[in-house]
A and B are shown apart, each in its own frame.
Chain A
């Protein structure tokens, strides 16, 4: 009985749990416990969904018994079961971590609100991923975005407020572009259901209105996923948000937006329209190559390590778009693999920075000098995450870069490979800067002595760091999931 309602529960559990988190505002600890419980529950549900999809194929769930295309439908296929697993898995690791970190970084009276926003954000992100209805996707996108703005604004620094405001403006413009696109699609096809849209769009592929809708949707989603020239909201948002929020958003929100992009390009508009009528690859390849190089170089010059990681995120999103732009199954596999791998590595790095922030109060590179001796475990986890960003063998970063390079070889695009290698070297430089400061410099005389971060911070950091090593050494599971999903998307039977 329950099993058949799992797709709905995936979103309903956090959505209904959030008000209860809020009602417990007198006791932040209780609302945190509830939030953690919810995150574990959603993780369990997403595992169950993934197993079911792998055994018995795509699940279609009609809300309230109203059949699609009239009713709202949730669809779980191999692609979004994989993304659901990423989002809820990261939540299940970050939520337990957040208690101590939030204690220190967020005002007492706002703590329950912070946990409420986190749960709402989780609900929104899971909802975006699972929705089979274009308008429903927009509403859930706004739920997750509004709660993200709230979380960011709770950072200690007053610049968190302006960062959040800037994100609100750009995010809302993006979301509005998305509804304009959806509105035009509805005008043309009379449908909002994604499968239904996918069937009706091929007949219209010369319609100029369809091209306009495509433009609005890609720009809107591009704003949400911080596609290169539209990424300006991201560095400040990640740098000034409370650590737990940075870790959660950095490893999930942009990934979900990339998923939405893949869904629109491959399942809804279809491979033929997106790549052979519009030639979206001629936008994605140059933009992503420029993003990879430019933002990696900018990352080199950051003093705040959280901001450095934020710029590195924009470069990593470049890799994901590049995978789409290469326009072959291997490239799309690399994109999907990188969704998973980047969530693991950025999660580990931001959580490690949260632990540093907990002890020394900021994440500036000069305050971190000599920290390697005083916080050996935290910094070791940072090094693992850093090596993964660089793409050293036996880490997850290597796997996705390797597949991406294979895809470029299949295309025969050698300059692309050179850019990937050069960007990896730049990544090595910015990670090395931190390693050098932390291990080779001695602690300044006037710096206060600190001890290792508490276990409740260290355990989540190490879960993600070890996951980086495990999925780097043994990538069969993740590559199989990503490969299957990519092959299905390319075959044109997108759902």
Chain B
């Protein structure tokens, strides 16, 4: 019984980062799909992307690894590549957020609302008018 619990606990806590990743990924994804407010959708998208950043950063960590700077006492180094990659992905995420938010501003000007269902109703009316 003890060994079973040990296994469960080490399995759950040993992969702590990945649980965080899965939780953030799913909640972000849910917000993107589930909310009707466009700003909330962008926030959800951000959370979703952030989960991937954590995934990548976790990949680079090596037990007992030090910062990847040449040092006589270092036994092993963490892998810096995923961190560098994710810097690029963060930049991409910022650009996407900026573009999304500026689109929302233009939508607000054009429709006077940022609620998806109201915009949909207005669009349907327009389709019928044509």
Contacts and interface: CB of A to CB of B under 8 A. Distances in A.
A158 B111 contact: yes
A183 B107 contact: no
Contacts of A37: none
Contact of B106 (A146, A161, A176, A187): A161
A168 B100 contact: yes
A40 interface: no
Interface string B68-107: 0000000000000010010011001001100110011011
Contact of B100 (A165, A173, A303): A165
Interface residues of B, number: 30
A146 B111 contact: no
Given A159-B123, A187-B59, A172 B45 contact: yes
B96 A153 contact: no
Determine the interface band of chain A, counting residues with CB < 8 A from chain B: 20 to 34
Contacts of A179: 52, 56, 89
A294 interface: no
A428 B106 CA distance: 39
A159 B107 CA distance: 9
Chain A CB count within 10 A is highest, among B38, B41, B88, B92, for B92
B126 interface: yes
Nearest to A166: B116
If over half of A's interface residues share one DSSP class (helix, strand or loop), that class is named, otherwise mixed; here it is helix
Chain B CB count within 10 A is highest, among A142, A149, A150, A303, for A142
Contacts of B100: 165, 168-169
Contacts of B123: 159, 162
A183 B52 contact: yes
B88 A139 contact: yes
Contacts of B52: 176, 179-180, 183
Contact of B55 (A165, A175, A183): A183
B96 A172 contact: yes
B111 to A, nearest CB: 7
A186 interface: yes
Contacts of A187: 59
B92 A165 contact: no
A168 B106 CA distance: 14
Contacts of A173: 29, 32, 45, 48
Contacts of B56: 179, 183
Contacts of B88: 135, 139
B48 A142 contact: no
Contacts of B89: 138, 179
Contacts of A176: 48-49, 52
